[in-house]
């Protein structure tokens, strides 16, 4: 009996794969690399990695594991290069990628719109104050000797005049309304889904249910897939099929945050309040920060 798809037996054998096993590869051969139909565009330290890992449980999702940074850093390489990065997907499967930097990059909305006007966009947002502290904590872990948070967050290095440096990246990223305004110039609001970062931790199944609805997927990822890791302080995946252990995110996830003076936190909350209120008005959602 000849192998399926007209593949000669000699070729099959030379590949070092049993012929009977190769016969079952028909579906894999039908898979193709496609441009993403959905992109997690932000925000950094909001919970994007967790969301990606949770979505990868869904059989109708094919997701790129790494951040491509195509629309912010590598756009000159072209769409064919971008497509070549994507995992192969069958008809009916949705291709997804995640690069949080897109949300704050000025050129990204127009570039993504030029690729597809119908792409679905996902933004994981989190209290901008705790997001900024988390961002700073990551910076310190990678660059020892960084000045204190209090020194960097105020323009003159002190909090006497409450001059928050809104150009410092950990603060600037949290100006969600400013960044969203650029996206709404290209995409209607109904094409952008906002994931509540805090609820992604406290009730991942509920947030994943909303994301699956937004993507038009059957609700397959449910509360049965999660358990809460008290040590790390966030949800982990129960034992995946083919694995002997539960799956938690990397060792850097859930690291203790830098200890910031309460007065500094309070002043940042005051700084962000009008920006948060504007963001709530733009999205029609109150995130309760």
Summarize the annotated binding site for 3'-phosphoadenylyl sulfate as residue ranges.
Answer: 45-49, 126, 134, 253-257
Which residue's entry shows tokens 């966030």? 234
What residues contact 104, with CB distance under 8 A and at least 6 apart? Answer: 42, 43, 44, 172, 173, 179
Task: Report the run of H or E that residue 41 belongs to, with start and end.
Answer: strand 38-42
Is residue 47 helix, strand or coil? coil
Q: Is 45 a catalytic residue?
A: yes
* C-alpha torsion 260→265→266→270, nearest 10: 160
- Number of C-beta neighbours around residue 278 at 10 A: 16
Pairing verdict, β 226-229 and 234-237: antiparallel
Q: How do beta strands 94-98 and 38-42 pair?
A: parallel
Residue 185 in contact with residue 109, Cβ under 8 Å?
A: yes
Rounded CA-CA distance 125/154 in Å is 23
Give the active site residue among 45, 199, 232, 239. 45
198's enclosing H/E stretch is: helix 197-202
List beta partners, residue 40.
Answer: 98, 122
Catalytic residues: 45
């Amino acid at each position: 009996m000849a192998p399926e798809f007209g593949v000669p037996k000699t070729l099959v054998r030379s590949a070092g794969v049993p012929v009977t096993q190769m016969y079952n590869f028909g579906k894999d051969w039908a898979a193709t690399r496609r441009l993403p139909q959905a992109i997690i565009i932000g925000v950094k330290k909001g919970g994007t990695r967790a969301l990606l890992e949770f979505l990868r449980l869904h059989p109708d999702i094919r997701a790129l594991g790494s951040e491509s940074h195509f629309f912010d850093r590598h756009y000159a390489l072209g769409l064919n290069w971008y497509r070549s990065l994507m995992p192969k997907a069958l008809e009916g499967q949705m291709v997804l990628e995640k690069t949080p930097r897109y949300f704050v990059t000025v050129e990204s909305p127009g570039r993504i719109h030029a690729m597809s006007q119908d792409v679905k966009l996902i933004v994981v947002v989190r209290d901008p104050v705790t997001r900024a502290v988390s961002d700073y904590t990551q910076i310190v872990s990678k660059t020892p000797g960084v000045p204190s948070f209090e020194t960097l967050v105020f323009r003159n290095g002190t909090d006497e005049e409450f001059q928050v440096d809104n150009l410092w990246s950990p603060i600037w990223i949290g100006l969600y309304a400013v960044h969203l305004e650029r996206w709404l110039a290209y995409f209607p609001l109904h094409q952008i889904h906002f994931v509540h970062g805090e609820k992604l931790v406290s009730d991942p199944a509920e947030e994943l249910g909303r994301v699956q609805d937004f993507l038009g997927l059957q609700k397959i990822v449910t509360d049965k897939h999660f358990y809460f890791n008290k040590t790390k302080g966030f949800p982990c995946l129960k034992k995946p099929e083919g694995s002997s252990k539960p799956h938690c995110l990397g060792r850097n996830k859930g690291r203790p945050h830098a200890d910031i003076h309460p007065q500094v936190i309070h002043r940042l909350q005051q700084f962000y309040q009008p920006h948060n209120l504007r963001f709530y008005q733009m999205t029609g959602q109150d995130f309760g920060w």
